[in-house]
Amino acid sequence: MHTSPCSSQSLTNLRFTNRFTTQLPADPSSENTRRQVYRACYSRVMPVTTTNPQLVAYSREVADLLGLDQEDCTSELFTRVFSGNQLLPGMDAHAMCYGGHQFGNWAGQLGDGRAINLGEIINCQGEHWTLQLKGAGPTPYSRHADGLAVLRSSLREFLCSEAMFHLGVPTTRALSLILTGDTVERDMFYNGHPQEEPGAVVCRLSPSFIRFGNFELFTARGEIDLLKQLADFTIRTHFPHLGRPKPAVYSLWFDEICRLTAELMVHWLRVGFVHGVMNTDNMSILGLTIDYGPYGWLEDYDPTWTPNITDAQGRRYCYGRQPIIAHWNLAQLANALYPLVGETEPFEQSLQKFNRYFEQSWQSMMAGKLGLTVFEPDTDRPLVEDLLHLLAAVETDMTLFFRQLALVPTAMEKQTADRCAPLHIALYQPEQLDSAYQDKLSAWLLRYCNRVRRDGLPDQERQKKMNAINPLYVLRNYLAQLAIEQATDGEYTLVNELLEVLRSPYTEQPGKEQFAEKRPEWARHRPGCSMLSCSS
Ligand SMILES: Nc1ncnc2c1ncn2[C@@H]1O[C@H](COP(=O)(O)OP(=O)(O)OP(=O)(O)O)[C@@H](O)[C@H]1O
């Protein structure tokens, strides 16, 4: 039975503060027609009514943030509210106005085309959380699309947000996954015909859903007064430690966004996450992972891999380029914030510092992954670079490799075979290894063991340290796909089992070994975001 730490709360007692809608300019029109909205940060909208909403799953940790217990979360009211069928007193439903650069090009006004913020609450710990429905119907920003979402993309978003949270990666959260009872038409490109699919809504939570694109749109339109209002609001509300907004503070703020974004990139590299669509409208101003669309997880280590099949040629958004793209996106944000500061130098400095923030954070992450107490750039940078070449040279499961590396005995008297043995399980085709590769791996392991001994951590302690940073369970692409296939048949066991396993991604869970296994052969040629799960 799941009880909540905020025992006095319940669904009807949620306290709404709604700072975004009470402090920023609204679109004066309440008409829900699709259009360009000028001189406003948001438009008030109503979610659509759905035929037969049914709860598929909810996250108890996110429910805790709201002070909701199991009884609340399994009530009819919960399902009605978080499918968009009923607003609670105090809610102020609205869609935010933002634009963005998509695949390197300015795309103009984009959203929120299918996200509706229900309102902002304050919980019993004094934390503010904005509640947002994704897929609850059209808004003025929906352009040509329907404002809806289907079960497969919603399930992927729900599971992955929570998996990322438990991995320690900054992220928006997901409270619930609810089937609407309606079908949604989607063009499935594998047979060229529109398909009817089950519709679903995810309720997401974040301290803020403001994106780089919110600022970009106002600057692009010359709405500098709005830009200033939104920037001042963001600093006052989410970066109060920086002080009262003024030019020097805007620069400090940008610098902090650079740092938060650099840290986020390091987390993604650490766990093998590939976002897949790092457009500036998908960059959170708080440095959170946002928009779990065509994301994927590295299976065999390949820095050029992208789960986004529309990007497969250019690989703009592949695993290894994520920090470069983040930097490019930050440069677009700098352009957008420039009118507030009036000089380019502070932005240029922060963009340069991004590289330093990234490098420092990457070094300490890599030291952690290897079980070293300090990163010594002169020796450890080549050590890591050589390792990454080795991992890419033959199909090697990144997640399993680092878990298994923790088991490598480092004592001097150990034989090469003893050192290599734990790693075989991480290789996709161990029988195809040639002797040149084996020699390189043995030589690398020897260097690694020497380095570990010099570092001084005994093997047991090193293993503990490594297992706290190298996950055992991640939402492997094929596992998400299996959960989708099951859920499409009305069976939710796997969704809930994955949710449970991914709560403790660093801890071995007896009986759950199958979730830690490398991708099975049948799933080899499926992209991370398979044809079934990609279009949303
Ligand atoms: N089915 C849809 N109906 C209306 N608008 C949509 C739809 N799908 C995407 N959009 C809008 O197009 C823009 C870009 O889409 P993208 O796929 O990056 O976002 P998303 O997954 O819908 O949303 P988010 O970024 O909020 O997670 C977003 O502003 C989004 O709201």
Q: If we measure between CA atoms, which residue out of 473, 496, 68, 451 comes closest to residue 271?
A: 473
pTM for the complete prediction? 0.96
Half-sphere exposure of 415 (CA within 13 A, CB side): 3
Alpha-carbon separation of residue 129 from 74, 421, 494 (angstroms):
21, 48, 29
**Whether residue 183 is found in the same domain as residue 160:** yes
- pLDDT at site 385: 98
Query: Per the domain annotation, does 62 fall within a domain?
Result: yes
**Residue written as token pair 């934390």:** 127
**Cβ(278) to ligand 1 under 6 A?**
no
Query: Per the domain annotation, does 468 fall within a domain?
Result: no
Contact assessment for residue 208 and residue 120, using Cβ atoms and an 8 Å cutoff: no
Query: Per the domain annotation, does 279 fall within a domain?
Result: yes
- One-letter amino acid identity for 68? L
**Whether residue 381 is found in the same domain as residue 483:** no
**Cβ(476) to ligand 1 under 6 A?**
no
Query: Per the domain annotation, does 162 fall within a domain?
Result: yes
- pLDDT at site 162: 98
Q: Please choose from 36, 172, 209, 281 the residue to mutate so as to test ligand 1's pocket, defined by most ligand atoms within 8 A of CB.
A: 281
**Cβ(154) to ligand 1 under 6 A?**
no
Query: Per the domain annotation, does 470 fall within a domain?
Result: no
Residue positions annotated with a catalytic role:
281
**Whether residue 253 is found in the same domain as residue 165:** no
- pLDDT at site 3: 63
Query: Per the domain annotation, does 404 fall within a domain?
Result: yes
- Alpha-carbon span 516 to 64, nearest angstrom: 28
**Cβ(111) to ligand 1 under 6 A?**
yes
**Whether residue 440 is found in the same domain as residue 481:** no
- pLDDT at site 531: 42
Q: Closest Cα to atom 1, ligand 1: which residue?
A: 147
**Whether residue 393 is found in the same domain as residue 309:** no
Query: Per the domain annotation, does 393 fall within a domain?
Result: yes
**Whether residue 22 is found in the same domain as residue 171:** yes
**Whether residue 363 is found in the same domain as residue 232:** yes
**Whether residue 381 is found in the same domain as residue 328:** no
Q: Kindly write down the DSSP assignment for every residue of 150-205, as one continuous string.
A: BHHHHHHHHHHHHHHHHHT--B-EEEEEEEEEEEEEEE-TTTSSEEEEEEEEEEEE
Q: Phi/psi class of residue 291: alpha, beta or left (left: φ > 0; alpha: ψ in -120 to 50)?
A: left
Using the 8-state DSSP alphabet, how is residue 283 labeled? B
111 C-alpha to center of ligand 1: Å?
Answer: 7
89 C-alpha to center of ligand 1: Å?
Answer: 27
The first and second tokens of residue 474, run together, are 């991640």
Last-in-domain residue among 180, 212, 244: 212
Last-in-domain residue among 182, 212, 242: 212
φ, ψ of residue 123 to 5 degrees: the values are -100, -175
* pLDDT tens digits in sequence order for the chain, 536 residues long: 666 666 656 899 999 999 999 999 999 998 889 999 999 999 999 999 999 999 999 999 999 999 999 999 999 999 999 999 999 999 999 999 999 999 999 999 998 999 999 999 999 999 999 999 999 999 999 999 999 999 999 999 999 999 999 999 999 999 999 999 999 998 765 456 778 999 999 999 999 999 999 999 999 999 999 999 999 999 999 999 999 999 999 999 999 999 999 999 999 999 999 999 999 999 999 999 999 999 999 999 999 999 998 877 778 999 999 999 999 999 999 999 999 999 999 999 999 999 999 999 999 999 999 999 999 999 999 999 999 999 999 999 999 999 999 999 999 998 989 999 999 999 999 888 899 999 999 999 999 999 999 999 999 999 999 999 999 999 999 999 999 999 999 999 999 999 999 999 999 999 999 999 999 998 886 554 444 445 56
Q: Which domain holds residue 84?
A: 11-212
- pLDDT at site 530: 47
The first and second tokens of residue 120, run together, are 């902002």
Query: Per the domain annotation, does 217 fall within a domain?
Result: no
ipTM: 0.99
SS3 state at 52: coil
Distant-in-sequence, close-in-space partners of 489: CB < 8 Å, separation ≥ 6: none
Q: How many domains does the chain have?
A: 4
**Whether residue 361 is found in the same domain as residue 416:** no
Beta bridge pairs of residue 131: 119, 205
**Whether residue 231 is found in the same domain as residue 265:** yes
- pLDDT at site 6: 67
